[in-house]
Amino acid sequence: MRDQFGRNIDYMRVSVTDRCNLRCVYCMPAEGVPYVSHQEILSFDEIVRICRIGAELGITKLKLTGGEPLVRKGLPELLKMLKKIPGIEQVTLTTNGTLLKGQINELVSSGLDSVNISMDTLDADKYREVTRGGSVEKVLEGLDAAAEFPELRVKVNCVPLKGADNEEYIRLALLAKEGKADVRFIEMMPIGMGKVFAGQRGEEIYSILEQAYGEAEGYNGHLGNGPAVYMQFPGFQKQVGFISAVSHQFCGSCNRVRLTSEGYLKPCLQYAGGTDLKALLRNGEDDDTIRREMKHTIYSKPAGHQFASAYGENAGEGERNTGNMNSEGGTFERKEMSRIGG
Closer residue to ligand SAM (CB): 20 or 85:
20
Q: What residue 189 binds from ligand SF4, ligand SAM, none (CB within 5 to 8 A, per partner kind)?
A: ligand SAM
Task: Give, rounded to a whole angstrom, the gap between the first and last alpha carbons of the chain.
Answer: 22
Strands 275-276 and 182-186: unpaired
Q: Three-state SS for 245?
A: coil
257 in a known ligand binding site: yes
Residue 96 lies near ligand SAM (rule: CB under 6 A): yes
Contact yes or no for 141/121 (Cβ under 8 A): no
From edge to edge, which strands make up the β-sheet containing 11-15?
A: 217-218, 229-232, 240-243, 182-186, 153-158, 114-118, 90-95, 61-65, 11-15, 256-259, 264-266, 275-276
The number of CA neighbours under 13 Å toward the Cβ of 122 is: 15
| Cβ at position 159, least distance to ligand SF4 in Å | 8
**Contact set for ligand SAM, span 186-225 (CB under 6 A):** 186, 188-189, 191, 194
Please select the residue that binds ligand SF4; options are 9, 14, 16, 24, rule is CB under 6 A. Answer: 24
Residue 244 lies near ligand SAM (rule: CB under 6 A): no
Contact yes or no for 46/240 (Cβ under 8 A): no
Residue 104 lies near ligand SAM (rule: CB under 6 A): no
256 in a known ligand binding site: yes
118 in a known ligand binding site: yes
Residue 67 lies near ligand SF4 (rule: CB under 6 A): yes
Residues 6+ apart with CB under 8 A from 101: 138, 141, 142, 144, 145
155 in a known ligand binding site: yes
> Residue-wise over 13-50: b if at least 16 C-beta within 10 A, else e?
bbbbbbbbebbbbbbbeeeebeebeeeebbebebbbbb
| Cβ at position 109, least distance to ligand SAM in Å | 22
**Contact set for ligand SAM, span 265-324 (CB under 6 A):** none
Residue 226 lies near ligand SAM (rule: CB under 6 A): no
> Residue-wise over 127-136: b if at least 16 C-beta within 10 A, else e?
beebbeebeb
Residue 71 lies near ligand SF4 (rule: CB under 6 A): no
Closer residue to ligand SF4 (CB): 27 or 176:
27
Residue 15 lies near ligand SF4 (rule: CB under 6 A): no
Residue 199 lies near ligand SF4 (rule: CB under 6 A): no
* Contacts with ligand SF4, residue ranges (CB under 6 A): 20, 22-24, 27-28, 66-68, 96, 118, 337-338
* Contacts with ligand SAM, residue ranges (CB under 6 A): 20, 26-27, 65-66, 68, 94-96, 118, 157, 159, 186, 188-189, 191, 194, 337-338, 342
